[in-house]
């Protein structure tokens, strides 16, 4: 069962400038940053708030590390802005299978590693009213590095 909005993914051309905007404008600080070679992105997770289920809500800022990455292609076509919305779930496998059974295309056969050692998959935007949708199961508390 989906429990919360985990994060909103925002594609940007310059991660450092975008982080500074969110810091100066809203007071959000970087909670975690990493480079995900598989997805071809450099990212920063800015924590917005905690939630009652022990999770949190973030803004995920994404800068492509290569033009042929999904975010790189998206930026070239659309420019900066909201790239996807992610919903938190305790069990990404079960929820992805349940949603797939309802006729929504799931983009990964098996969930992959996401930010902060989470497990993720995506739902096809054409099946979700034009919104690229991610499902996220957070890593156990003791395994996530900041």
Catalytic residues: 7, 43, 60, 84, 134
Q: 63: helix, coil or strand?
A: strand
Cβ count within 10 A of residue 10:
19
- Judge contact between 110 and 129, C-beta under 8 A: no
Torsion of CA 136, 86, 63, 146, to 10 degrees: -50
């Amino acid at each position: 069962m989906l429990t919360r909005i985990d994060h909103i993914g925002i594609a940007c051309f310059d991660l450092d400038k975008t982080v500074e905007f969110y810091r100066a404008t809203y007071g959000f600080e970087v909670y975690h940053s990493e480079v995900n070679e598989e997805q071809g992105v450099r990212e920063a997770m800015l924590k917005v708030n905690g939630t009652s289920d022990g999770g949190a809500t973030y803004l995920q800022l994404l800068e492509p590390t290569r033009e042929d990455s999904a975010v790189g292609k998206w930026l070239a076509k659309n420019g900066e802005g909201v790239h996807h919305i992610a919903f938190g779930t305790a069990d990404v496998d079960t929820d992805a299978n349940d949603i797939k059974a309802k006729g929504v295309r799931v983009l990964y056969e098996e969930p992959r590693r996401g930010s902060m050692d989470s497990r993720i998959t995506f739902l096809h935007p054409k099946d979700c009213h034009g919104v690229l949708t991610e499902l996220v199961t957070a890593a156990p508390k003791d395994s996530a590095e900041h």
